[in-house]
Amino acid sequence: MTKATSMPIIQVRDLLKSYGSVHAIKGLTFAVGKGQVVGFLGPNGAGKSTTMKILTGYLQPTSGTAQILGIDVMRHSIEARKHIGYLPENNPLYEEMMVMEYLEFVAQMRQIPKSKRRMMIEKAIHECGLGPVVGKDIGVLSKGYCQRVGFAQAIVHEPQLLILDEPTSGLDPNQIIEIRSLIKKLGKEKTVLMSTHILSEAQSTCSRILIIHDGKLVADDTPLQLTQQEGGIIYVVVAPKQGEKLSKKQVLEQLASIFGVTKVEPINEYQDHGVAMMVGYDKEDPRADIFQKIVSANWILLEMRRKEITLEETFRRLTKE
Amino acid sequence: MNAIVYIARREMQSYLNSPVAYVVLGVFLLFLGYFYFSTLFLIGFASMRNFFSLAPMLLVVFGPALSMRLIAEERKSGTIESLLNFPVRDFEVVLGKFFGGFGIVVIGLLFTVPYVFSVAWLVPKEMSFDYGPVIGGYLGLLFLSSSFVAFGLLASSLTKNQIVAFVIGFVLCVFFFLIDKVAVLMPYSWAFIFEFLSVDAHFANIARGVLDSRDLLYYLSITTVALFFTTRMLRRSRA
Ligand SMILES: Nc1ncnc2c1ncn2[C@@H]1O[C@H](COP(=O)(O)OP(=O)(O)OP(=O)(O)O)[C@@H](O)[C@H]1O
Ligand SMILES: [Mg+2]
């Protein structure tokens, strides 16, 4: 687990939330330190939005505590809310309002002093690239621009913490990329907690990933660590020397005798000459030993590569059943 | 506390930006004008008394109609979540919504002022038009509207569906409007309570030009009670 050095921006302890008989979160504990961009992953219904709604002070947890900058979100809800910018799932907005009108309303509700309001609204408009649409009704905007309005209302009061619930869902690939770079830009100054179903997005945008499943935390690590766990699979192709012969059985026996190898399986679809194998291992990477073995058996090593574990595979392993 | 003003202002702006507002207000004014002037010419006597007995009945419908959207619509579109995430207290949100809805009703009532002048103009020269009951009547309407808007707001906080909100608000208003009409069927000691609870009976007092603190207190209390329960409903949606 990653530990925050100074006071954490988010501190969640034993958080529990039930909707009647539905237990949405079943005891969550984690902390997020200043400046981190944290990806919040989990299958549908895992409890991501519920957790976020508790952090933003909208929902009351059933038990447990949550603190934002050390402020309890239940006991000092109003104070805690001041430090948060929140983009809710589905980004609900007042469609009948103009972008400018809406941001003015948000700035008022965020208690930005009148003298600074204009300046801070302009800044948010600029950062989110809303310039061309400030005078339009929100109802007529494209989904990409709506999302930018959602971002602008979340950052106008310059909060330290941004909570983004599926910020790129429903956008076209171009918009997704632009919104991601916006998140990256904002993440330079702010702490960000964002949920997403696009794992590559979490991998490329976040410095840390939390995976929850069925209301419980099942992983908390950097994207790199999550894709480099112990064990894996190596793909090997071996060929006989000129004029010699080679059977699958021979190769299988040789490879299986290597220390640390747990499983060897021939790949039957392999078409070229030679024998292809999948070699499974559980601890140390055995590629050096495989190479030695093949050389000493007087065969030719045509190909050898380690199969990358994707975040998808880790995710599937942690959240299946 | 500024938040109350901001929310009320946004509410009124949004409302006046939507065609529905003009339709509802228009229909209100049309009904009131039609019923009022048709009976006026029937009696052939220029007075506002009829106007002030008609207006409460129409407000039983239009109060809830104008306030049905206040919270229900935000629940439906999901904007309630952003609204309740601002660093303001729930009761400030409720008061903002209340004054927003009340403001719209006041605008509707302002549009009826020309009726007064046209009636004053119809009064023969030798008789002077008495503005006293008119001022009392409008004051009464304001208090009555505040309770109806509060009922409508409470109804609006119970559901996502504006039509359902309207029906609940309407039933609440009708209940408090008609309760003194059943009082005659009750034993005397009961009748007193029923009459005290009635919106209409208190209105009649004010409209007569009798400003009694008990009547004002009555409206203030039922408005406060309705707003209190609305705040409770918002709190419940956080649980
Ligand atoms: N208002 C509610 N009433 C009852 N149950 C709810 C409510 N909101 C959420 N739930 C349930 O709580 C669980 C967690 O929901 P939540 O919305 O937090 O999941 P999520 O991780 O955000 O899912 P998704 O990826 O689909 O957005 C689900 O089983 C959901 O059905
Ligand atoms: Mg969700």
Pair A190, A162: CB distance under 8 Å = yes
Q: Please, which residues have CB within 8 angstroms of residue A152's CB and are 6 or more apart in sequence? A: A103, A124, A125, A127, A128, A130
Min distance B5 CA to chain A CA atoms (Å): 10
At A71, the amino acid letter reads I
Q: Provide the token pair at B148.
A: 């109806």
pLDDT of residue A318: 84
Rounded Cα–Cα distance for residues B228 and A184 (Å): 44
Q: What is the 3-state secondary structure (H, E, C) of A244-285?
A: CCCCHHHHHHHHHCCCCEEEEEECCCCCCCCEEEEEEECCCC
B19 contact A CB<8A: no
CB contact under 8 A, B238 and A90: no
A17 touches A25 (CB < 8 A): yes
d(CA B63, CA B147): 9
8 Å CB contact between A40 and A195? yes
Cβ-in-10-Å burial (0-12, 13-18, 19+) of A62 comes to middle
Distance CA A54, CA A298 (A): 64
DSSP B73-121: HHHHHSHHHHHTTSSS-HHHHHHHHHHHHHHHHHHHHHTTHHHHHHHHH
Instruction: Specify which residues A261 forms β-bridges with.
Output: A281
> Cα of B165 to ligand 2 centre, how many Å?
28
- pLDDT per residue of chain A (321 residues) written in tens, 0 to 9: 444 456 899 999 999 999 989 999 999 999 999 999 999 999 999 999 999 999 999 999 999 999 999 999 999 999 999 999 999 999 999 999 999 999 999 999 999 999 999 999 999 999 999 999 999 999 999 999 999 999 999 999 999 999 999 999 889 999 899 999 999 999 999 999 999 999 888 988 999 999 999 999 998 988 888 877 667 788 999 988 888 888 888 888 888 888 888 888 888 776 677 888 888 888 788 889 999 999 999 999 988 988 877 788 888 888 886
Gyration radius from chain B CA atoms: 19
Query: Ligand 1 in contact with A44 (CB < 6 A)?
Result: yes
Domain boundaries, position B129: 2-238
Count the domains in chain B.
1
Place of tokens 């209390």: B221
Contact call for A58 and B14, based on CB within 8 A: no
pTM: 0.85
Is there a contact between A157 and A120 (Cβ–Cβ < 8 Å)? yes
Q: Is the CB of A50 under 6 A from ligand 1?
A: yes
Of A96, A106, A108, the CB nearest to B14: A96
What are the residue ranges spanned by the domains of chain A? 10-226, 228-316
A261-266 vs A275-281, strand pairing mode: antiparallel
- CA–centroid distance for B61 within its chain: 9
> Given this structure, which CATH class describes domain A10-226?
alpha beta
pLDDT digits (tens, 9 = 90+) for B113-137: 887 777 777 766 666 667 777 888 8
Select from 3.40.50.300, 3.40.50.1100, 3.30.70.2660, 3.30.70.100 the CATH code of A228-316. 3.30.70.100
Q: What is the DSSP code (8-state) at residue A76?
A: T
Give nearest CA residue, ligand 1 atom 26: A44
CA A132 → CA A100, A126, A128, A129, distances in Å?
11, 10, 11, 8
A208-213 vs A63-68, strand pairing mode: unpaired
Q: Which amino acid is at A124?
A: A
